[in-house]
């Protein structure tokens, strides 16, 4: 059997948010790389999922609907993935719309700050460069690069729009329990994204989030040392959480970025995720009946 047919990647961005490839192009690349299952997880939107699923029709590639939502509070900036959420769920739709509307205003304010710092950018152009639903800092960084104010995208973050940068403006963010709850109420499974990459505080909070209904932990992620993986797997076992994983792919040409399908994720992760989502939907149906 072709081993590669079992490769899965459950963390992928497209042009629906800040990725470089359209959802159809992501699917084409996943097929070229012989992946069997992918999840599209754009920032604050499910907007690319239908296109990806249509592009995958008849190919045997499974496309799991997903998204990534930032949260904050006393916990710092934590990211959560939501899988198999119902796109029609009204409370989740409202939350995502509020976050995306705030993203536009926030990007406009970052452009304004950069202008005051002597780096004028045309707001309409920056706005238009985000073709999908969800504008973000990569679009601002690209505009800085295009105008020659920086030489690389990471430089834009390091000097201007990184979390501590002089032109940074924060997101509208909900707290982790609110995000976990919204994903759950929408019939989805919530997974804390790259906790070891976010930092030790994120890992330490996993038991607390499990008590709030967290469904899983993104254990397999680029550049994770084996000790970090072991620690996360132990937490999953102790708190009955799923292990998931993915590359956080944003496009092949993204400096410092990882390649689609480049992280080893045991294929049973995708199967368990699917089973957990089915069980979660049943629980909701029973509680609504």
Residues that bind Fe ion (CB under 5 A): 18, 79, 193
Q: How far is the CB of 250 from ligand AMP (least distance, A)?
A: 5
Token look-up 């205003």 returns: 105
Is 9 a binding residue for Zn ion by CB under 5 A? The answer is: no
Using the contact rule CB under 6 A, the part of the chain among 30-38, 53-61, 135-143, 223-231 near ligand AMP is: 135-143
Q: How far is the CB of 218 from Fe ion (least distance, A)?
A: 9
Cβ atoms within 10 Å, residue 153 = 18
Q: How far is the CB of 283 from Zn ion (least distance, A)?
A: 27
Q: How far is the CB of 57 from ligand AMP (least distance, A)?
A: 28
Token look-up 């990725």 returns: 19
Backbone angles phi and psi of 179, in degrees to 5: -70, -45
- Of 82, 136, 181, 188, the residue at the interface with ligand AMP (CB under 6 A) is 136
Is 42 a binding residue for Zn ion by CB under 5 A? The answer is: no
Structure tokens at 173: 């963010």
CA dist 54 → 50, 58, 59 (Å): 6, 9, 10
Name the residue number minimizing CB distance to Zn ion.
248
Q: How far is the CB of 80 from Fe ion (least distance, A)?
A: 9
Cross-strand bridge partners of residue 190 = 82
Please say which residue, 162 or 213, places its beta carbon nearer to ligand AMP: 162
Residues 236-275, interacting with ligand AMP (CB under 6 A) = 250
Please say which residue, 136 or 215, places its beta carbon nearer to ligand AMP: 136
Residues 184-223, interacting with Zn ion (CB under 5 A) = none
Is 194 a binding residue for ligand AMP by CB under 6 A? The answer is: no
Q: How far is the CB of 267 from ligand AMP (least distance, A)?
A: 26
Using the contact rule CB under 6 A, the part of the chain among 32-40, 133-141, 229-237, 239-247 near ligand AMP is: 133-141
Q: 209 near 192, Cβ under 8 Å?
A: yes
Is 154 a binding residue for ligand AMP by CB under 6 A? The answer is: yes
Q: Which residues bind ligand AMP (CB under 6 A)?
A: 18, 43, 136-138, 153-154, 157, 162, 171, 250
Q: Using CB under 5 A as the criterion, which residues of the chain lie in contact with Zn ion when the complex forms?
A: 68, 248
């Amino acid at each position: 059997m072709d081993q590669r047919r079992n490769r899965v990647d459950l963390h992928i961005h497209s042009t629906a948010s800040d990725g470089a490839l359209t959802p159809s192009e992501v699917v084409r690349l996943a097929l070229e790389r012989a992946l069997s299952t992918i999840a599209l997880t754009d920032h604050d939107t499910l907007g690319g999922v239908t296109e990806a699923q249509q592009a995958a029709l008849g190919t045997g590639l499974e496309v799991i609907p997903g998204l990534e939502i930032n949260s904050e509070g006393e916990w710092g900036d934590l990211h959560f993935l939501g899988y198999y959420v119902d796109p029609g769920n009204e409370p989740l739709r409202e939350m995502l719309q509020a976050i995306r509307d705030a993203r536009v205003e926030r990007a406009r304010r970052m452009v304004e700050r950069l202008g005051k710092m002597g780096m004028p950018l045309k707001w309409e152009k920056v706005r238009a460069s985000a073709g999908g639903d969800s504008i973000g800092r990569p679009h601002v960084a690209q505009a800085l690069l295009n105008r020659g104010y920086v030489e690389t995208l990471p430089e834009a973050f390091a000097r201007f729009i990184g979390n501590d940068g002089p032109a940074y403006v924060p997101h509208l963010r909900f707290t982790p329990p609110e995000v976990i709850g919204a994903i759950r109420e929408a019939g989805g499974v919530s997974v804390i994204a790259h906790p070891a990459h976010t930092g030790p505080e994120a890992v330490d909070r996993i038991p607390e989030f499990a008590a709030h209904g967290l469904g899983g932990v993104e254990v397999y992620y680029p550049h994770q040392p084996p000790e970090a993986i072991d620690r996360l797997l132990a937490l999953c076992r102790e708190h009955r959480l799923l292990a998931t994983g993915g590359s956080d792919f944003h496009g092949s040409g993204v400096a410092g970025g990882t390649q689609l399908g480049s992280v080893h994720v045991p294929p049973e992760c995708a199967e368990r995720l699917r089973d957990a989502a089915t069980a979660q939907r049943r629980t909701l149906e029973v509680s609504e009946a």
